[in-house]
Chains A and B, each alone.
Chain A
Amino acid sequence: ETGVTQSPTHLIKTRGQQVTLRCSSQSGHNTVSWYQQALGQGPQFIFQYYREEENGRGNFPPRFSGLQFPNYSSELNVNALELDDSALYLCASSRRDNEQFFGPGTRLTVL
């Protein structure tokens, strides 16, 4: 186990709704990255937070937003959910520029 926890484990939402996913990073880690993994595909980078600031973003629209707290835990918020947002959302924590350790993910289903 990596020590990275995510909640909830599973979530079902309908189109147009909003969702918040949570991640607790491993002790000693100050960087959190979020990835979206569609079924049967590799993860896609959404964004990264370092010391409470967004530190880069992948090719995702602004309705994907995030937050990092002083204890380095993080939230991923998705507004106006679309069917294609159905995926496994992965959080990874690390110390800056070191190996990323992944949590078990949150499975989001949008109906």
Chain B
Amino acid sequence: QQQVKQSPQSLIVQKGGIPIINCAYENTAFDYFPWYQQFPGKGPALLIAIRPDVSEKKEGRFTISFNKSAKQFSLHIMDSQPGDSATYFCAASRGNYQLIWGAGTKLIIKP
């Protein structure tokens, strides 16, 4: 019940394309769903987060779509750039307490 399943494991997209990363959770008590971006040798950086009272949230080129009934959420990156190449993690928690993380998606944006 504590797992967060993330897919795909890796993703290659042409510059300007829209990579989509998906996550699924089991614990219905989770009420906070952040996405983190991590570059090699660096700590994760918070990109965007959503709570289950909304179905979509946009911040700049990043959008989270949230489907409470399916217990799924996804990250979309609009107009992707080579600088977006990184590992992306979804996570979930109850009250932003103990974050439960997905396994990560290694994203490569080709010029």
Cβ B45 vs Cβ A41 within 8 A? no
**Complex-state Cα separation, A99 to B100, whole angstroms:** 14
- Whether, in the assembled complex, A90 has its beta carbon less than 8 Å from a beta carbon of chain B, the answer is yes
**Complex-state Cα separation, A84 to B24, whole angstroms:** 28
Q: Contact residue range for chain A? A: 20 to 34
Cβ A48 vs Cβ B101 within 8 A? no
* Nearest CB in chain A: distance from B34 CB, A: 7
Interface size for B (C-beta < 8 A) is 22
Most B CB within 10 A of own CB, among A6, A98, A100 = A100
Query: Known: A43-B44, A104-B42. Contact between A94 and B96, CB under 8 A?
Result: yes
Cβ A102 vs Cβ B98 within 8 A? no
Cβ A99 vs Cβ B95 within 8 A? no
Residues of A within 8 A of B89 (CB): 42-43
Which residues 42-60 of B have a CB within 8 angstroms of A? 42-46, 49
Query: Known: A94-B96, A97-B95, A97-B96. Contact between A102 and B44, CB under 8 A?
Result: yes
Query: Known: A41-B103, A90-B43. Contact between A97 and B34, CB under 8 A?
Result: no
- Whether, in the assembled complex, A7 has its beta carbon less than 8 Å from a beta carbon of chain B, the answer is no
Which of A41, A43, A48, A105 contacts B97 (CB under 8 A)? A48
Cβ B44 vs Cβ A56 within 8 A? no
Q: Mark A33-46, 1 if CB is under 8 A from B, else 0.
A: 10100001111110
- Whether, in the assembled complex, B99 has its beta carbon less than 8 Å from a beta carbon of chain A, the answer is yes
* Nearest CB in chain B: distance from A109 CB, A: 14
**Complex-state Cα separation, A69 to B104, whole angstroms:** 32
A-B contact pairs, 12 of them (CB 8 A): A6-B43, A35-B99, A43-B99, A45-B99, A48-B97, A55-B97, A58-B98, A99-B46, A99-B96, A102-B36, A102-B44, A103-B43
Which residues of B approach A to under 8 Å, CB–CB?
6, 34, 36, 41-46, 49, 89, 91, 95-104
- Given known contacts A43-B99, A56-B98, what 11 new A-B pairs fall within 8 Å (CB)? A42-B89, A42-B91, A42-B101, A42-B102, A43-B101, A97-B95, A97-B96, A97-B97, A99-B46, A100-B46, A100-B96
